[in-house]
């Protein structure tokens, strides 16, 4: 995971992402999963890696698609086993031979066999997705966003194997240290839909407050490949405005440019409302510690995360709704995992939503 808060232009990030994409040599292949053999590799009675090997037809001919034997990333393995309805925990409990038999039988009896296999570096399968999934790499998305991000500065950037996050703000919109901005999230491996949402960026403390709210279940949806962490998948069925703009990875890529333009234009309106809510929160007193503990529990923060929020609150003591929201967004900056940071920033906005509705 590459994460930074060093100010730079959006074009600089685009250039870096394009260069890294070329180096990874991404290649997408479509095929039927029953035309592959699943191979668990065991060392010392422990499965250390897994592979997919193309199967020849019964007449000795090569399979419909020519593929080398592919090594599965941990994420792709999780996706494959979910398709096969095989519990991943069994890989640590059963001998490799048993796993080999079970998974290959299941692959031969899949209801939906066709898949998109996203590979990098020649033979690394980083994702196994549905055949109707439309790939959208960060380099392609950012190239579409770039003309609309003119004059913006990058405030947070995190480009990882599973998801990417980038927040930008426009310095010329500054009002008492608070700037209009947008946050763009994507996943090249099917973790989330493309998301563009308005943010409020604080130049004083680098806090990022997203314009979220309106759905009590928004933060509790679970992704099956995220080790139980909460991720935002709401509204991923189509391009729509719910608490941000989301564009699912299916259908015509040509719709994406209109989606980007509309989302960024809408962020200008969202900024006014977010700024008004932020200022209103400064006038409403609350029990800061009790409120932090309440929202920390409700939004499944672990003990270390909750402690970091309490420490942030103590450092900048402000017993108001906005003060509590700032504690969450300030603590978010210290999260190593970008999804955890994204979630904690959203919890800060949730505090404002609940108390100021």
Q: pLDDT tens across 181-195, in order?
A: 999 999 999 998 888
On whether residue 248 sits in a domain, the answer given is: yes
- High-pLDDT (> 90) share of the chain, %: 70
Q: Which ranges of 200-337 does DSSP label H, i.e. alpha helix? A: 255-281, 288-298, 303-315, 321-332
User: Phi-psi region for residue 5, left (φ > 0), alpha (ψ -120 to 50) or beta?
Assistant: alpha
CA angle 297, 299, 305 (to 5 degrees): 70
* Same-domain pairing of 152 and 288: yes
Answer yes or no: do 222 and 153 share one domain.
yes
What gap in Å lies between CA 285 and CA 279, rounded to an integer? Answer: 13
Considering only 31-45, 165-179, 196-210, 238-252, which range has the smallest mean pLDDT? 238-252
Predicted local confidence at residue 224, as pLDDT? 34
Last residue of a domain, one of 95, 130, 165: 130
pLDDT of residue 170: 95
| CA nearest to 356, candidates 286, 280, 272, 269 | 280
Judge whether residue 228 has pLDDT over 50.
no
Question: Are the CB atoms for 345 and 210 separated by under 8 Å?
Answer: yes
Number of C-beta neighbours around residue 19 at 10 A: 10
* Average pLDDT rounded to a whole number, residues 229-249: 49
Structure tokens at 46: 């422990």
pLDDT band for position 55 (50/70/90)?
Answer: confident
* Whether residues 63 and 182 fall in one domain: no
Say if residue 118's pLDDT is above 90: yes
Those residues whose C-beta lies under 8 Å from the C-beta of residue 339, and which sit 6 or more positions away, are 162, 163, 226, 229, 231
**Mean pLDDT computed over 188-205:** 92
- 37 vs 257 pLDDT, higher one: 37
SS3 at position 347:
helix
**In a shared domain, residues 209 and 96:** no
Start-to-end C-alpha separation, the chain? 36
Stretch 136-144: mean pLDDT, rounded? Answer: 93
Q: Is 64 exposed, middle or buried (0-12, 13-18, 19+ CB in 10 A)?
A: exposed
Judge if 295 and 329 occupy the same domain. yes
Closest by Cα among 244, 245, 322, 237 to 283 = 322
**How are beta strands 153-159 and 194-202 bridged, if at all?**
unpaired
- pLDDT at residue 258 in the model: 84
> Do 11 and 34 belong together in one domain?
no
Q: Tell me what pLDDT residue 240 has.
A: 41
Confidence of residue 61 (pLDDT cuts 50, 70, 90): low
If one compares 226 and 287, the residue with the highest pLDDT of the two is 287
Q: What is the pLDDT of residue 219?
A: 36
Do 55 and 181 reside in the same domain of the chain?
Answer: no
Position 287 in a domain: yes
| Rounded-to-10 torsion of CA 144, 257, 212, 331 | -10
pLDDT at 244 over 80: no
Which of 130, 151, 176 marks a domain boundary? 130
pLDDT of residue 233: 34
Looking at the structure, tell me whether residues 228 and 284 fall in a common domain.
Answer: yes
Instruction: Indicate the residue among 103, 130, 157 that finishes a domain.
Output: 130
Q: What share of the chain is helix, strand, coil (3-state, %, to 5)?
A: 40, 25, 35
pLDDT interval class at 234 (50, 70, 90): very low
Say whether both 126 and 185 belong to one domain. Answer: no
What is the pTM for the complete model shown?
A: 0.85
Q: Which of 118-122, 149-153, 224-228, 260-264 has the lowest average pLDDT?
A: 224-228
Instruction: Determine whether 217 is exposed, middle or buried from the number of CB atoms within 10 Å of its CB (0-12, 13-18, 19+).
Output: exposed
Instruction: Look at residue 21 and tell me if it is in a domain.
Output: no
Share of the chain above pLDDT 70, in %: 85
- Rounded to whole angstroms, the Cα distance separating 357 from 349 reads 12
Supply the range of the domain harboring residue 101: 27-130
C-alpha closest to that of 206 among 348, 333, 344, 321: 333
Residue 230 lies in a domain: yes
pLDDT tens for 295-331 read 999 999 999 999 999 999 999 999 999 999 999 999 9
Q: Which residues of 319-328 are buried (b: 16+ CB within 10 A; e: fewer)?
A: ebbbbbbbbb
The first and second tokens of residue 292, run together, are 């932090």
What per-residue confidence (pLDDT) applies to 217? 35
pLDDT at residue 243, as a whole number: 54
* Residue 275 scores a pLDDT above 90: yes
Answer yes or no: do 175 and 43 share one domain: no
What average pLDDT score do residues 344-356 get?
A: 93
Average confidence (pLDDT) over 326-341: 95
Give domain status of residue 280, yes or no. Answer: yes
Do 304 and 348 lie in one domain? The reply is: yes
Torsion of CA 170, 173, 177, 183, to 10 degrees: -40
The per-residue pLDDT of the chain, averaged, comes to 86
In whole angstroms, give the CA distance from residue 32 to residue 109. 11
**Structural domain contains residue 40:** yes
- How far, in Å, CA of 248 to CA of 218, rounded? 17
In a domain? residue 76: yes
Asked if 159 and 269 sit in the same domain, the reply is: yes
Q: Report the pLDDT value the prediction gives residue 193, as an integer from 0 to 100.
A: 86
On whether residue 20 sits in a domain, the answer given is: no
- Overall domain count for the chain: 2
């Amino acid at each position: 995971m590459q994460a930074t808060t060093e100010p730079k232009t959006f074009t600089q990030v685009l250039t870096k992402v394009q260069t890294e994409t070329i180096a990874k040599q991404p290649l997408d292949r479509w095929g039927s999963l029953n035309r592959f053999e699943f191979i668990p590799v065991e060392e010392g009675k422990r499965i250390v890696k897994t592979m997919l090997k193309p199967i020849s037809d019964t007449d000795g001919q090569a399979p419909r698609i020519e593929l080398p034997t592919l090594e599965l990333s941990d994420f792709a393995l999780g996706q494959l086993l979910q398709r096969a309805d095989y519990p991943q925990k069994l890989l640590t409990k059963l001998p490799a031979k048993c796993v080999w038999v079970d998974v290959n039988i299941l692959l031969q009896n899949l209801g939906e066999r066709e898949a998109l296999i996203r590979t990098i570096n020649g033979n690394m399968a980083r994702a196994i997705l549905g055949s109707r999934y439309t790939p959208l790499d960060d380099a392609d998305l950012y190239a579409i966003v770039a003309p609309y991000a003119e004059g913006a500065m990058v405030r947070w950037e995190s480009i990882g194997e599973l998801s990417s996050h980038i927040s930008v703000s426009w310095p010329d919109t500054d009002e008492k240290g608070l700037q209009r901005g947008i946050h763009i999230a994507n996943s090249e491996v099917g973790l989330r839909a493309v998301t563009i949402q308005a943010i409020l960026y604080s130049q004083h403390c680098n806090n990022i407050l997203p314009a979220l709210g309106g759905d009590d279940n928004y933060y509790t949806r679970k992704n099956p490949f995220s080790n139980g962490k909460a991720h935002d998948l709401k509204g991923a069925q189509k391009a729509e405005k719910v608490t941000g703009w989301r564009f699912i990875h299916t259908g015509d890529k040509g719709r994406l440019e209109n989606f980007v333009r509309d989302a960024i234009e809408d962020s200008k309106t969202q900024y006014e409302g977010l700024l008004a809510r932020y200022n209103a929160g400064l006038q409403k007193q609350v029990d800061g510690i009790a409120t932090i503990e309440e929202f920390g529990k409700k939004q499944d923060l672990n003990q270390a995360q909750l402690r970091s929020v309490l420490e942030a609150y103590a450092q900048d003591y402000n017993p108001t709704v906005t003060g509590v929201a700032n504690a969450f967004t300030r603590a978010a900056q210290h999260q190593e995992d970008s999804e955890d940071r994204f979630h904690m920033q959203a919890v800060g906005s949730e505090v404002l939503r609940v108390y100021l509705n």
